Amino acid sequence: MDAILLQVLNGLDKGGAYALIALGLTIIFGTLGVVNFAHGALFMLGAFCAVAVKSVLSLEKVTLDPTKTTAWGTPMEIRVPYIEAWFGDFGATVLDFSVPISIIIAIPVMLLIGVAMERGLIRFFYKRPHAEQILVTFGLAIVLQEIVKSQFGANPIPQPAPDLAKGMIDFGIMVGFDAGNIVYPAWRLIYFLFSIVIITAVFAFLQFTTFGMVVRAGMADRETVGLLGIDIDKRFTIVFGMAAVVAGLAGVMYTPILSPDYHMGMDFLVLSFVVVVVGGMGSLGGAVAAGFMLGILQSFASMNEVKTIIPGIDQIIIYLIAVIILLVRPRGLMGRKGVMEH
Amino acid sequence: MSLLSVENVNKSFGGLKALDNVNLEIAAGTVHAIIGPNGAGKSTLLNCFVGRLEPDTGSVMFDGQSLLRIDPHEINQAGVSRVFQTPEIFGDLTLLENVMIPAFAKRDGAFTMNVWRGVALESDVRAKAMDMLADVGLSTKAQDIAGQLSRGDKRRLELAMCLVQEPKLLLLDEPTAGMARADTNNTIDLMKRIAARGVTMVVIEHDMHVVFSLAEKISVLAQGTVIAEGLPQDIKGDPRVQEAYLGGAHL
Amino acid sequence: MRNSSMSKNDLILLFCFSAAILAGPIILAPIGAGYPDLLQKFAIFGIFALGFNILFGLTGYLSFGHAAFLGAGSYTAVWTFKLLSMNPLPAILLATLMGGLFAALIGFICLRRSGIYFSILTLAFAQMSYNLAYSVLTPITNGETGLQLRQADPRILDAALGRDYGAVLPSSDFFGIDMTGYPGFYFCAVILIACFFFSMRIFRSPFGMMLRAVKSNQNRMNYTGLNTRPYALAAFIISGMYAGLAGGLLAVTDPLAGAERMQWTASGEVVLMTILGGSGTLLGPVIGAGAIKYFENIFSSFNEGILMKAFDFLPESLQHIMVSISSLFVGEGWHLTLGALFMLIVIFLPGGLMEGFNRLRTWLGNRTGGGDGGAVPDTAPAPSVGGD
């Protein structure tokens, strides 16, 4: 029982990331009719927002301390981040919380990137075949990741979680098991909760605002909404920007779990696409459900007990599930008829 | 002797009964029109003939063979061709290719991997296709891309694609819908010529001018049931038919 | 009769194609591509793209998993070297068969769906193959190290024929001719020409017409008495065999097989080659493959020194700016160029380079006062059957 619960927990953070990326993908597909292969790159850009914020915050003031010398006899350099030098302990705290703080920066930045992408490129592809949409966004994804690579290098850049959230949480005690059986990194639990908050926010936005209503109507029947005389173009831009923000935030918060490198987006994109297809193209609930389902299944498949029975299952589980689901339920778990079949 | 016989066919979509115990006999060599108000189930019935839909119960026999539970391509290979309400053509291919493909299908069957004998050598198939295009008045456009044709031309092309297969039974779903009067008359003439060759035809049509110019027998469908059947002059005066068309339409 | 099955134009095209490929070392020398390693790559990836084009260009099914067949072909070829003989013929034969077999298996399942669902299914299968090749299939694939030849390999056929390679690690040889360098290129080139010929036969045949019909309207095909599934599957298997053959040739010229050949980025590369050249055209994929491999080679070898020289004519400050901008796109940053190229082609020239050539020809034709600018070229996607 404990082991099962632990595996479920292990799958939640990854599942949360899949769900957030897949949510944006499916919204873009449902409203704009565009297959966006650059969505993984948005996740990656979000992660690098955190990297950038951290490196700006930790810009250091270098002073020489003549009273001390190094082993080589030169005066000791004292390196203090400006922010600490100026604001003292508050500055140190800010630096410690650089990842959550990056969210504030990432929202406008990702919105801007999303809007620029939609206005500058995607909108010209609304009426083009899906194959061309896939190809042009695939090209864009390569361009974005290569730019990041040239700025930040090819190696992963670790981003620490705030000290407060660095430890482990004994989750077992909280749900009434013996202590020490289910210990779980705090940040991963925070990530899961964060993804739930974002997902809820997106659903609430779509459910309770007029704007969201139009978007949902657009997902159900794009042509009719266009005929109603609603300025759909402007809304498309905002929808795309929103999806970019969601993917970006998913990336920001994921950095303490996985040190970001330039190709993390591609890795997640392929899996997120599988998630979207399994959930059903254009289905919001499907994307979220499939995201968590596949995350959890993947974590179960990595258990040693499972791996000894079926060797290699951890490597292929997600794809295998995708194949089975697509063959049994052609339109995914919650897909609608006639979507994406040409 | 009937070429197509439909017995007790029922089809429901959810709670809606689209076809309610339909019985129909199509005699060989006749032009049989199926008329009825919108939503009467005419297209549903046609879809049951070509394998697009599967009836819930009942049987559809064609030339001694059941048309149910077999694939659309097998139905066509048995000798049934269909013209659709919105023309289904190969939009990226030339008109000539559009007509050659069904000719190949008729000659070589549902699947042939014929790689070594180039299309250029198939002069008889090509000649047959060209003749067919001339028949429908499209021979000057043989090398045009089909997707760029006008709607009326697309219909004629689709008709040529069906006719080149020399089907035993030709199903036409509103072949003149949306056509101008002159075009309609041309199509009527064309269909008369086809009928003269002895091709059995089932026509769904709204335009009564077309129906009464062509049909040798008429079945009237309303709310999924055949409410009247007979020769054109009988149908014209049938009060039930008037009723079905809300009493207002002049037949 | 054989001769009359090809039109005069096709014969000329085939002849010119063969001549251009065989004279490759001379023709391509002035642009710095006249050396065998690169020429081998042109030929091999040309075959890969030709095959992919039969599936994507004709039937419109966008596969994101064709690298799996390439990889399977490579592994098969290396195993053939190890177990049977260092002669490339059995290796490429078995590699082609394995590509076809693998494609039949995967195609049979994936072709039950179309559109993006088909793409994702093929991607899923390719990723599974890739992941498995790295993990549990290590006994067959030798995991990350890659499958290599060893001196102690049995090589049954060679042994039976009394062929002994002594103490050196053997390399593949075609009845005594070493398959590295130019002989290796000519071996690949002859196969490329054969593949091109076969592809041309498909394009010009009723079968090819049916494949284009699959892309155009499957509904109409069904109601026309044609079974679409076997047509699509046949195209999938043929393209898988081309991919397997290409993978086999990679192993012939360099007897080593690694799982990275199966990664989905490799699948993406063949898509790009086909699109860049012009999908659905006969010649396009080969040109696309050549262009990509050429630029990859050129751009990735550039460094700052070469760039400084290239912008020598500018004032120094400008020179530095230009160098720092353009250095983003070369060397390690070659993928940036690739991505940008990808986008530019899809945005401005969805028909690929072949469409570009045709437009240029039309434009030139108009400028010189007409001529044959409007004529349908031999390689247009829709060969005119009324032409002869």
**CATH class for the domain made up of B1-79+167-251:** alpha beta
Show the domain range for C272. 20-283
Name the residue in chain C with its Cα closest to that of A274: C120
Of A139, A315, A326, the CB nearest to C343: A139
Cα gap A142→A136, rounded to integer Å? 10
B61 touches chain C (CB under 8 A): no
Tell me the chain C residues in contact with residue A132 when contact means C-beta distances shorter than 8 Å. 346, 350
Chains that touch A (3 or more CB pairs under 8 A): C
pLDDT digits (tens, 9 = 90+) for C201-231: 999 999 999 999 999 999 999 999 999 999 9
B95 touches chain C (CB under 8 A): no
Chain C and chain A touch, per 3+ beta carbon pairs within 8 A: yes
Which residues have a Cβ under 8 Å from the Cβ of A132 and sit 6 or more positions away?
Answer: A125, C346, C350
Name the residue in chain C with its Cα closest to that of A154: C332
Q: What stretches of chain A show up as alpha helix (H) in DSSP?
A: 2-32, 39-57, 82-87, 89-96, 98-120, 130-152, 171-174, 186-208, 210-220, 222-227, 232-254, 264-279, 284-301, 304-309, 313-328
Cα gap C238→C10, rounded to integer Å? 21
The label of the residue with tokens 């791996």 reads: A307
Q: Alpha carbon of C50 to those of B102, C241, C316: distances in Å?
A: 28, 11, 46
pLDDT of residue C2: 45
Q: What amino acid is encoded at B187 in this protein?
A: T
Cα gap B130→B164, rounded to integer Å? 10
Q: Per mean pLDDT, which of A60-69, A170-179, A226-235, B163-172 is the most reliable?
A: B163-172
C114 contacts A136? CB cut-off 8 A: no
Dihedral Cα B153, B155, B160, B165, nearest 10 deg: 160
Which residues have a Cβ under 8 Å from the Cβ of A210 and sit 6 or more positions away?
Answer: none
pLDDT of residue A309: 82
Q: How many CB atoms lie within 10 A of CB C256?
A: 15
Cα gap C141→C259, rounded to integer Å? 7
Cα gap C86→C173, rounded to integer Å? 6
A124 contacts C343? CB cut-off 8 A: no
B106 touches chain C (CB under 8 A): yes
Chains that touch C (3 or more CB pairs under 8 A): A, B
pLDDT of residue A48: 94
Of C60, C113, C342, the CB nearest to A326: C113
Contacts 24+ apart (CB under 8 A), B26-29: B26/B2, B26/B169, B26/B200, B26/B202, B27/B1, B27/B2, B27/B3, B27/B200, B27/B217, B28/B1, B28/B2, B28/B3, B28/B168, B28/B200, B29/B198, B29/B200
Asked whether the predicted pLDDT for residue A316 surpasses 80, the reply is yes
Q: How many CB atoms lie within 10 A of CB C32?
A: 12
Distance from CA of B79 to the nearest CA of C (A): 9
Q: Per mean pLDDT, which of A241-255, B107-121, B174-188, C366-380 is the most reliable?
A: A241-255
Cα gap A262→A110, rounded to integer Å? 17
Cα gap A266→A138, rounded to integer Å? 10
Which residues have a Cβ under 8 Å from the Cβ of A62 and sit 6 or more positions away?
Answer: A77, A78, A79
Distance from CA of C24 to the nearest CA of B (A): 29
pLDDT of residue B248: 46
Asked whether the predicted pLDDT for residue C345 surpasses 90, the reply is no
pLDDT digits (tens, 9 = 90+) for B9-35: 999 888 888 898 899 999 999 999 998
Of C115, C124, C333, the CB nearest to A150: C333
Q: What stretches of chain B show up as alpha helix (H) in DSSP?
A: 42-50, 72-78, 95-108, 123-135, 151-163, 181-196, 208-214, 232-237, 239-244
Q: Which sequence spans correspond to the domains of chain B?
A: 1-79+167-251, 89-166
Q: Best mutation site among A273, A316, A321 for testing chain C: the one with the most C CBs within 10 Å?
A: A316
Closest Cα to residue C201, out of C1, C387, C388, C14?
C14
Cα gap C123→A179, rounded to integer Å? 44
C235-245 average pLDDT score:
97
Paired tokens of B87:
């023309």
Closest Cα to residue C91, out of C75, C107, C80?
C80
Rounded to 10 deg, the angle between the A39-57 and A130-152 helix axes is 20
pLDDT of residue C325: 77
pLDDT of residue C387: 32
Segment among A76-90, A237-251, B105-119 with least mean pLDDT: A76-90
Cα gap B5→C359, rounded to integer Å? 56
C386 contacts B143? CB cut-off 8 A: yes
Q: What amino acid is encoded at C15 in this protein?
A: F
Asked whether the predicted pLDDT for residue C285 surpasses 70, the reply is yes
Distance from CA of C340 to the nearest CA of A (A): 6
- 3-class SS at A12? helix
Asked whether the predicted pLDDT for residue A26 surpasses 80, the reply is yes
The label of the residue with tokens 């049977």 reads: C84
A146 contacts C121? CB cut-off 8 A: no
Instruction: Give, for B2, the enclosing helix (H) or strand (E).
Output: strand B2-13
C220 contacts B88? CB cut-off 8 A: yes
Region class of A166: left (phi > 0), else alpha (psi between -120 and 50), else beta: alpha
Chain A and chain B touch, per 3+ beta carbon pairs within 8 A: no
C77-90 average pLDDT score:
92
B76 contacts C213? CB cut-off 8 A: no
- 3-class SS at C343? helix
* Phi, psi angle pair for B198, to nearest 5°: 95, 10
Confidence category of residue C381, pLDDT binned at 50, 70, 90: very low
Q: Which residues of C93-123 are buried (b: 16+ CB within 10 A; e: fewer)?
A: ebbbbbbbbbbeebbeebbebbbbbbbbbbb
Paired tokens of C232:
């699509």
The label of the residue with tokens 């939640």 reads: A12
Segment among A75-89, A103-117, A208-222, B49-63 with least mean pLDDT: A75-89
Confidence category of residue C5, pLDDT binned at 50, 70, 90: low
- Would C161 be classed as within a structural domain? yes
Percentage of the residues of chain C whose pLDDT score is greater than 70: 93
Q: What stretches of chain C show up as alpha helix (H) in DSSP?
A: 8-22, 24-27, 36-53, 67-83, 88-110, 115-134, 138-141, 156-160, 181-204, 206-216, 218-223, 228-253, 264-277, 284-301, 304-310, 316-326, 334-348, 352-367
Q: What amino acid is encoded at A139 in this protein?
A: G
pLDDT of residue C1: 40
- Pairing relationship of beta strands B80-83 and B200-204 according to DSSP bridges: unpaired
pLDDT of residue A119: 92
Confidence category of residue C161, pLDDT binned at 50, 70, 90: confident
Dihedral Cα A232, A233, A235, A238, nearest 10 deg: 170
The label of the residue with tokens 């009326």 reads: B152
pLDDT of residue B31: 93
Look at chain C and report how many structural domains it folds into.
1
DSSP string, C149-181: --TT---HHHHHTT---TTSPP--EETTEESSH
Tell me the chain A residues in contact with residue C347 when contact means C-beta distances shorter than 8 Å. 121, 124, 136
C116 contacts A281? CB cut-off 8 A: yes
Paired tokens of A53:
């914020």
Distance from CA of C262 to the nearest CA of A (A): 14
B100 contacts C385? CB cut-off 8 A: yes
Closest Cα to residue C247, out of C139, C111, C114, C133?
C133
- Would C362 be classed as within a structural domain? no
pLDDT of residue C239: 97
* Phi, psi angle pair for A217, to nearest 5°: -60, -40
Chains that touch B (3 or more CB pairs under 8 A): C
pLDDT digits (tens, 9 = 90+) for A41-93: 999 999 999 999 988 888 877 777 777 777 777 777 777 777 777 777 777 78
Q: CB-based burial of residue A60 (10 Å sphere; 0-12 exposed, 13-18 middle, 19+ buried)?
A: middle
Q: How many CB atoms lie within 10 A of CB A12?
A: 23
Distance from CA of A342 to the nearest CA of C (A): 5
For chain A, the C-alpha Rg in angstroms (whole number) is: 22
pLDDT of residue C376: 39
- Measured CB to CB, residues of chain C less than 8 Å from chain A are 60, 62, 109, 112-117, 119-121, 123-125, 127-128, 131-132, 134-137, 264-265, 268, 271-272, 275, 328, 332-333, 335-336, 338-343, 346-347, 350
CATH code (residue C129): 1.10.3470
pLDDT of residue C3: 45
B115 contacts C224? CB cut-off 8 A: no
